[in-house]
Amino acid sequence: MPKVRTKDILEKFQLELISGEEGINRPITMSDISRPGIEMAGYFEFYPAERIQLLGKTELFFFRELSPSERASRMEKLCTDITPAIIVTRGLDVPEELIEASERESVPVLRTNMVTTRFSSHLTNFLESKLAPTTAVHGVLVDVYGIGVLITGKSGVGKSETALELVKRGHRLVADDCVEIRQEDQGTLVGTSPDLIEHLLEIRGLGIINVMTLFGAGAVRSNKRITLIMNLEIWDAKKQYDRLGLDEEKIKIIDTEVPKLTVPVRPGRNLAVIIEVAAMNFRLKRMGVNAAQQFTDRLADVIEEGDHE
């Protein structure tokens, strides 16, 4: 199913529908927008018909200078069977030739009172958000000290219980069980919760609880950029775990690599505190303070001094 249709932008930006109502369900497949200035002059060789077409003051004032036959011809070519919409900005009058051609080809012609550049910016942002590549992962997303921490691990390892403890400590839940992730930009992953389970946590033995009802609106948020993954796994005595924190493992989600820490779980370990400290330490690293590296450098200095003696 198409992620965005013409009627979605009609409703989102409260546009006025002028003509071509039959095509209101046309799919929008790209966030790029076209301002067909050169097409108004008659050059349609590389006309990007699959994009939304924006007609502003420049295009329409030039259009008025054309002869009646040229005007009819230009609008005929502008309206194709794949053009999702033609939008007239600044509340300008819509040419009769455009209305006639759009009705024949069922291309929706819409109008907004916003200036062209501002509307173009808003529309591009909306389309990029909606058309961004998406995926879903099994896990819990929590906002810890401003860091979006995605907690992953096998079912029953304690992800939701850890999230509950974090919420109790003043942090915010974004999603439990299923996290919908979209790549809004290169290197930017944003996680949200499916509408059906928004604000809900499933705790074995208790069942489903509503975090917003129990802890208030400050305990939840609708979306968060994912910057750190904490993978919980049952403690394995045979496995070597990182004790210094020098090796930074990364995991790829869609096209973006995200730092990943593996935390072994066994009775007595306070996972919520560990995740809090991991988030704070991650922030410190981004500021250029790396405790593990400082320790390694100091250790190297001590060994070097011992060699000289």
CATH class assigned to 6-131: alpha beta
Q: How far apart are CA 258 and CA 84, in angstroms?
A: 36
Query: How many residues are listed for the chain in this entry?
Result: 309
73 appears as a binding residue in the annotation: no
Q: How far apart are CA 89 and CA 111, in angstroms?
A: 6
216 appears as a binding residue in the annotation: no
Residue-wise pLDDT for 86-143, tens only, equals 999 999 999 999 999 999 999 999 999 999 999 999 999 999 888 888 899 999 999 9
Place of tokens 């200036």: 115
Q: Where are the domains of the chain?
A: 6-131, 134-296
154 appears as a binding residue in the annotation: yes
Q: Which fold has domain 134-296?
A: Rossmann fold (3.40.50)
The whole model's pTM is what? Answer: 0.72
Question: What is the SS3 assignment for 261?
Answer: strand
Residue 134 exposed, middle or buried by CB count within 10 Å (0-12, 13-18, 19+): middle
Per-residue pLDDT, 242:
67
* Backbone phi, psi, residue 200, to 5°: -100, 145
Place of tokens 């097409």: 39
207 appears as a binding residue in the annotation: no
Question: Among 94, 68, 79, 69, which residue's Cα sits nearest to residue 39?
Answer: 79
Share the mean pLDDT of the chain.
Answer: 90
Average pLDDT of span 13-26 = 95
23 appears as a binding residue in the annotation: no
Output the CA–CA distances (angstroms, integers) from residue 9 to 6, 88, 94, 195, in the order listed: 6, 14, 19, 21
| Residue positions annotated with a catalytic role | 138, 159, 177, 243
251: left (phi over 0), alpha (psi -120 to 50) or beta: beta
Residue-wise pLDDT for 42-69, tens only, equals 999 999 999 999 999 999 999 999 999 9
Residue-wise pLDDT for 261-296, tens only, equals 988 888 778 899 999 998 998 888 888 877 767 777
157 appears as a binding residue in the annotation: yes
